[in-house]
Structure 1
């Protein structure tokens, strides 16, 4: 018989703010709550949004995070109702998915209740600090503070080896466990009809060459390089349709840049898409997923593309590129617009290879969230067992 657990997932963002970490937290909570007991998500409140998840979501007071919209800063100290509620939950283990407000709350709960805390290193915090603070010394100082948080938890996870290497570069010296990400996408039997609906919605022809980017619209994700490479394609008379899905602080500037380059007839911004079926059909309709980010660690969008046999073009030697073999289960490019454009052109010349690589991506990169969370549950049990033994808890 399965041992039931009460688990807390803590993160500074959640639906309707969609990013890779939100996706992780949502799927951890869904499968843990469905199969292994109770799972709560603790996260900042989002004005006007009503949670409709199948697991409990605990919100606390927040204010906007300037220059990083739509993210918000949680101020749980000002929310008496939240603090009262969270104290009443008999957690067996808590899991912090970021080291800021929500992570601090998780750490406080763990120490007060003498339970273990796990923290996953998801993001390149130094890059975020540098973007906001501009000064390298300040960014490094803030990164050192973040590392102090990871030093205090019972176990640190990352999503792949490259991310673990980044964490080492930041100065973390403790043990690191690698727990990969998954995807909630599956290939439905009616995929063809879903794709046809999407083609009708976007006024696409069957033979249109379609590229796709899904992710935060922030400069750290190399989106300027992406648009510059698409300009090169346009100048070389490559006929294509490009769709950007997502939101972020750079969205307006990015759209303005596309307009400045005269690419509005080629590039369409679809905004944030919460409808997972629609998003899945977009991935499936795309001939090639373009994701030149060197900021991401193990982006779930690569796995979402692979789930529907759409191959990705990423930057060689980036964390994103871990597990991708060029011309086998994905494609690699150097980190400049000319190289990226040339790589796209070479890829689309061989449609048979494109399809073959997509199928191999599905075989080797795709992994469903349920199997990931089964592994997470087993890890939680072992962490709890060790914690009780060390602390002599009956």
Structure 2
């Protein structure tokens, strides 16, 4: 049997079967298609503006290394006009982070980018090795996740940068969607599925240019581009809840190749049920607005749905839906209200009263958070004390008890 030809150029021999859609491509076409999909995601979502200084959250792993490489290439190819800086967080994990930081230092030389390293010890007075020694391996990822998120923002402020890009890929987003569903945490879906987090109230904006890129394709890109990255998994992560979600996602992907993007899209749709003013998807529908860089008609769609194009008539369909809702509204019955009014006294009220969640109990809407600043460190928080300070209180209390 003759070897299959590349589905894109029809001249070279196909060497790669894309995990996203099973298309057979040659090496050069795969690299080009991957880069063009990231380019589409960037311009359709208007992630950057000319002259912007952007920090790349660099861990030395495949995702951040590929992100740095692709952004450098696209910045030069399409003249984004960005100033790119590598920002790395040292969690203080011996045998893991110290080795990966050496990879980041090599990347800084290879990509000719400045590098800033910020450590947990200097920010919080704790390293992750000390945290795990105090609380054990269960639940330590909660501490690391909260500390790391705040450390990225603090490092950006040190550099005078207001935009951080991270290497979160489609697999990561799908895992987060699944975790939030399993926890029944609908309120977090909007933030976890949004390609951009942060608004005018935030000191630092975050974005995910690799949001629609499969993890397997990121590995293939790094392999064929011969990128220098660190591949060892964190020594404390096997106990994480995310590991269980990841295993389930991989099993679904074996059955259905598009399962990952399907979950991401489902998470975006469900996030719209939450009354938040946050964009949660690739802005392909908003192409009429001026983007930093013009999108050519033959560009490959980064979101995996017919090159990012939509069938149209969305506004007409929405208007019809709103009219139908108004017509049928008079037939709706608030069951919780009827039951609570009918059972004013006695044990029946406790038996039949329906539980409500945060927000307006009459409407059942999930309330949006009101952002402020932590009273201690000044970090953005919806509570008087941010999560990091709350966790540090517990750690410092444990340390004091141990010393006594």
Structure 2 length-normalised TM: 0.28
Higher RCO (CA-CA < 8 Å; seq separation 6+): 2
Larger Cα Rg: Structure 1 or Structure 2? Answer: 2
The answer to which structure has the higher strand fraction is 1
